[in-house]
Structure 1
Amino acid sequence: MWKAALTELTATASLMFTLTTSIIACLDSHEIDPKLLVPFAVFTIAFLFLIVTVPLTGGHMSPVFTFIAALKGVVTLTRALIYVLAQCIGSIIGFFILKCVMDPKLAYTYSLGGCAISGQGVINSSSGGIKPLDALLVEFTCTFVVLFVGVTLAFDKKRSRDLGLPMVCLVVAGAMALAVFVSITVTGRAGYAGVGLNPARCLGPALLHGGLLWEGHWVFWLGPFLACVVYYAVSINLPREGLVWVDGEYDVLKLALGSCGNVYNTSVSKDHQLEEPSAGFQV
């Protein structure tokens, strides 16, 4: 367990450093719409880290995945707590290294790549940032989508074995990239950094950079954990097996054809019944 926790710490620190530098590089580029590059970077980096760490520790690297794994009984509560502690420490280490090597101007402009609902320079603007309740709704919805699409497949042993590790990691990374894409495009608010999906990722910059990152910081913890609870309630009621054809169940077309057939058979049987006495009399 301690070796797995150390692996989670190392993987989280490496992920925070790599992912944040890539996102800031995309946003600071001179592309016409750099927001389209961010989901691609998230997808690529998440896939690489998942395919390496899933066989080792389960590839959590986020308190969200650890919490839902504890709810589903995949990991024990003790292991989950140690994982979350390792992830938070790993996030702090990763962002500390990033702060040491990053240009101070970029660190100020992008708030060290942290989770912000009101970015630098827009806090006093009436149109800057996003309301905490709106950010909470986005965080909850996007996290639930990632859990429903990615975790439902990842925790299904049979389908995971049939599809293979690369395909499972591909689906989970794709769900994360989709959530990031939706959050940074549909809101369109200056100063809003998009969905966090990882409370540990939001904790590191808040401790090291401070300032506006503490405003609404609770959103990036409460939203994902509420999504985990709701997803758990939904997941325990999901079908355990795929849809199978059961006698007595018909689609709309067959139901209509079946009704016509029943009417035809009824009319034929009535005609037959009317003819039977005549036929009997002849006999």
Structure 2
Amino acid sequence: MDSANSHVVAVKPLSRSVHTNKPLTSLFKKSVRRKCYAFTGAHEIFRPEMWKAALTELTATASLMFTLTTSIVSCLDSHGTDPKLLVPFAVFMIVFLFLLVTVPLSGGHMSPVFTFIGALKGVVTLTRALIYVLAQIIGSIIGFFILKCVIDPKLAYTYSLGGCAIDGQKVSFGIKPQNALLVEFACTFVVLFVGVTLAFDKKRSRALGLPMVCLVVAGATALAVFVSITVTGRAGYAGVGLNPARCLGPALLHGGPLWHGHWVFWLGPFLACMVYYLLSMNLPKEDLVWLEEEHDVFDTSFSKNLPEQCNAGFQLQV
């Protein structure tokens, strides 16, 4: 009987432990699942607002590709003294208008570059970022397909459907892929450092307002385009891409020289995003605090106006 009783006593806590472990295991699984959903943002798949925002990205990207490319081709085909100088102004005006409309709706990415850096900075989830990039690629294909249907075939051949080319229609023209990669990296980094630093700063964005933020981002984009088409001075180089989706659309529809060095327009922005992300982690979190009174660094008379304790400490350090 003692052995039986001991057996019963031994079984009871064992059964209790089994019953208590089941809810602990289920709670652990639920917590892991929630963390996974929070990290990847998989829960956004079931949110209609996310799909509406993705549709906005698709529509905005298609419209941007069509209007921007037609404007650039029109500027280049004009008979002005230097038609390339008109391109940055066209880029600035069009990008500013599209940002002003789409930023409140979907964030106004319209480029895998902004979506990727947004995912790195935690502004958008990984799931939303993937869907945004897919929408941007589809939008680019739609925009350039419409352009291909309406543009003059001669202009489409001359300007490679407005795509991203590094050597034009002849291999002897343009620049080398490594040089194009360097330009793509540098110009994309400038846009990120000038535009994204302000756009992702909630405090300063609210203080300046939406129009001013869009103005800065559009200005940085136009500046990068201006630098890329003037510094290189090569006839076959179409300038910086700044948007891999914009480069993929005409490459699929037009082909030819657009596939030569196409990897440059993906690798360059990717490297720029990574470098900018590492740099942004070390940027000051607070605004710069200025001294209340100005003084000359070579003028020692300012030490006389300091409190006695500070003045004594200054003399001891000297």
* TM-score after normalising by structure 2: 0.78
Aligned to 2:93: 44
1:241 deviates by: 1.2
Aligned to 1:76: 125
Alignment of 1:132 onto 2:177:
yes
* Structure 2 portions without partners, runs of 5+: 1-49, 309-318
In the alignment, structure 1 residue 255 sits paired with structure 2 residue 300 = no
Structure 1: how far apart are the matches of 2:286 and 2:79? 49
Specify every segment of 5 or more residues in structure 1 that has no aligned partner in the other structure, as ranges. 267-283
Query: How much does 1:100 deviate?
Result: 0.5
5 Å-filtered alignment, 1:199-218, equals: 199-218=244-263
1:80-99 matches, within 5 Å, as 80-99=129-148
Q: What are the Cα deviations for residues 10-46 of structure 1, in whole angstroms up to 9, with x where unaligned? A: 0000000000000000000000100110000000000
Question: Which residue of 59, 78, 82 corresponds with 1:10?
Answer: 59
Q: Identity percentage over the alignment?
A: 84
1:108 to 147, 157, 161: 157
Equivalent-residue separation in structure 2 for 1:184 and 1:228 (angstroms): 22
- Cα deviation for residue 258 of structure 1 reads 3.1
Instruction: Please give the root-mean-square deviation of Cα atoms over the aligned residues, in Å.
Output: 1.7
User: Any idea what the Cα deviations from partners look like across 1:154-189, whole Å, max 9, x if unmatched?
Assistant: 001111101100000000000000000000000001
Match 2:77 to one of 23, 28, 45: 28
Alignment of structure 1 residues 168-187 onto 2, 5 Å: 168-187=213-232
* Structure 1 position 261, deviation (Å): 4.6
Distance 1:256 1:74, change over 3 A: same
In 1, the alpha carbon distance for the partners of 2:138 and 2:216 equals 27
Which structure would you say has the larger Rg?
Answer: 2
Aligned amino acid, residue 136 of structure 1:
L
Measured against aligned partners, the alpha-carbon deviations of 1:238-279 in whole angstroms (never above 9, x if no partner) come to 1111111379xx97x5432237856xxx9xxxxxxxxxxxxx
Q: TM-score, normalised by structure 1?
A: 0.88
**Separation in structure 2 between the aligned mates of residue 241 and residue 84 of structure 1, nearest angstrom:** 32
Of the candidates 207, 212, 235, which is equivalent to residue 167 of structure 1? 212
1:151 counterpart residue number: 196
* Greater RCO structure (CA 8 Å; 6+ sep): 1
